[in-house]
Amino acid sequence: MPETKVKKSEDFNEWYNEIVELADLCDKRYPIKGMNIWRPYGWKLMNHVDRLIRDEMIKTNHQEVCFPLLIPESYFKKEEEHIEGFGKEVFWVTHAGLTPLEERWLLRPTSETAMYPIFSLWIRSHTDLPLKTFQIVNTFRYETKQTRAFIRVREIHFFEAHTCHVDFTDAERQIQEDKEIADHLLQKLSLPYVFSKRPEWDKFAGAYYTISIDVLMPSGRTLQIGSIHQYRDNFAKPYEISYETEKGDHSFCHQTTYGMSERLLGALVGVHGDNKGLVMPPEVAPLQVVIIPIIFKGKEQTVLETSRTLQNELLEENIRSFIDDRDITPGNKYYDWELKGVPLRVEIGPRDVEKNALTLVRRDSGLKKSIPITNAEQMIKTELKDLEHILYTNAEKLLKDNMHQVLTIEEATQKTGIVALPWCGNKDCALEIENVLEGNTLGEPIENAGCSEHCPVCGSPAKTWMRYARSY
């Protein structure tokens, strides 16, 4: 069996670096830090993830838009907290040719400040609401810390939904919908996750509150793959997004955003991959089945014909497949496709054809079996479903085994992954725990209110649980 040089369990970070390049996802040789090249296979994969996101957006009546990349400084500066949060990591455009610009432009780090002045033009009446938009674009953030493919980059492939509502309640309803969207999507990616409400000092710049969506990587560190923000009317006021109510008054909109990025791909790689390479959930696998004809001189005809017949049958079932008839040895092809995480491999050789059968190999378990060629596409469909299920189950176990709820800092230091401790609500107490655990606050669980224990730092009655983790 082929293995990566670095084992996933021994040095996850190194393993990750090795795998993203070996599997042809990206090329990191571009000479600007944090700006990598999407290679064809990686880009296909990302497109499938985007497709799932679009499907969810369309189902929930969001409209796709595309705003300009450049934002005038004056637009950007309207909301104070927002500038403070992003100011240090924006790229500026100062010249056009040799001429200095009268007003500087910036590359969007996110699109609130590009969109909202325009929203204020679009929205006149309560009948224009809710306004539900989204776009999938690249955003730019000048990261100074260490970059990592798909996880911390300077040019980010980004999904952002922006909505405007008549009031806080309707915006809250949107946030419920966003949570459902996240759930559907992450199920399809076989990625179990946790929602946490970020503490006040760690929320998105300008938000009323922020819900983060985190997955747990096998290294024990969390990866935030999305966030949902309730803005209330924090942006609507400076950007003057108001509407005329039924009664003829004027009122500010309440807004939400929902963002996700190429980190989803990072999570797919990290959570499902193994020492043989990627393991892709069938929903997003660029190829769901690879067909390898076993060619012997003189017998290639029947083997290739059988392969083509199967491919056509798979096509009718909307299963993405490819016949690898390259002139290299079969073993070589196995390695290749295992590295790329193709969920199922079908081998068709003279032996199979004779028996009216084909050989089916699972990427997750490596198990091989011979199945009848009649109705093979149905069997394959079932196997794909089962594989998706197994991926989810394994990932869920990883998450559950690494989520802990404890009462003292002492106990917390013994744990890996996500640790929840009682919290009194005082920032200093949380920061103290961050220090000792060498981790960060993730936020409070959103599903439960309250905690009847005591803060492990100051001893006061706890208001809630607070989660801590080392994160990417």
Partner RNA sequence: GGGCCCGUGGGGUAGCUUGGUAUCCUUCUAGCUUGGGGUGCUAGUGACUUGAGUUCAAAUCUCAACGGGCCCA
Which residues contribute to the site for RNA (CB under 7 A)?
A: 1-2, 29, 31-33, 146-147, 276, 294-297, 327-332, 334-336, 338, 347-353, 359, 361, 366, 368
What is the helix (H) or strand (E) element at residue 18, kind and residue range?
Answer: helix 12-22
CB atoms within 10 A of CB 315: 12
The residues near 395 (Cβ < 8 Å, ≥ 6 apart) are 190, 191, 192, 271, 272
Q: In what order do the strands lie in the sheet with 368-372?
A: 321-323, 289-293, 344-348, 357-362, 368-372
CB of 324 to RNA, least distance (A): 10
Query: For the residues of 425-472, what is the DSSP string, one character each?
Result: S-HHHHHHHHHHHT-EEEEEESS-----SB-TTT-PBPSEEEEEE-B-
Residue 95, strand partner residues:
100
Instruction: Indicate the residue among 102 and 327 with the shorter CB distance to RNA.
Output: 327
Minimum gap (Å) between residue 42 Cβ and RNA: 16
Of 438, 276, 434, residue with least CA distance to 366: 276
- Cβ distance to RNA smaller for residue 210 or 359: 359
23 or 52: whose CB is closer to RNA? 23
Phi and psi, residue 183, nearest 5°:
-65, -45
Report the nearest approach of RNA to the CB of residue 92 (Å): 15
Min. distance of Cβ 89 from RNA in angstroms? 12
Query: What is the rounded CA–CA span in Å between residue 190 and residue 283?
Result: 9
CA-closest candidate to residue 250, choices 260, 263, 259, 237? 237
At what angle are helices 263-272 and 376-401 packed, to 10 degrees?
A: 90
Measured CA to CA, the distance from residue 4 to residue 42 in angstroms comes to 19
Q: Between 118 and 371, whose beta carbon lies closer to RNA?
A: 371
Task: Please report how close the Cβ of residue 334 comes to RNA at its closest, in angstroms.
Answer: 4
Per the DSSP assignment, residues forming a β-bridge with 316 are none
Shortest Å distance, C-beta 102 to RNA: 27
3-state secondary structure of 306: helix
Q: Indicate if the alpha-carbon torsion angle 328, 333, 335, 341 is positive or negative.
A: positive
Closer to RNA by CB, 56 or 377: give it: 377
Distance CA 4, CA 370 (A): 28
User: Closest CB to RNA among 366 and 461?
Assistant: 366
Q: Quote the CA–CA distance of 427 and 200 in Å, as a whole number.
A: 9
Q: Which is nearer to RNA, 356 or 375 (CB)?
A: 356
Nearest approach, Cβ of residue 309 and RNA (Å): 16
Q: How far is the CB of 283 from RNA (least distance, A)?
A: 23
Minimum distance of RNA from residue 319's CB (angstroms): 19
Q: Which is nearer to RNA, 304 or 407 (CB)?
A: 304
Of residues 259 and 343, the one with the C-beta less far from RNA: 343
Distance in Å, CB of 341 to RNA, minimum:
13
Return the number of the residue (260 or 437) whose C-beta is nearest RNA: 437
CA distance 132 to 109: 21
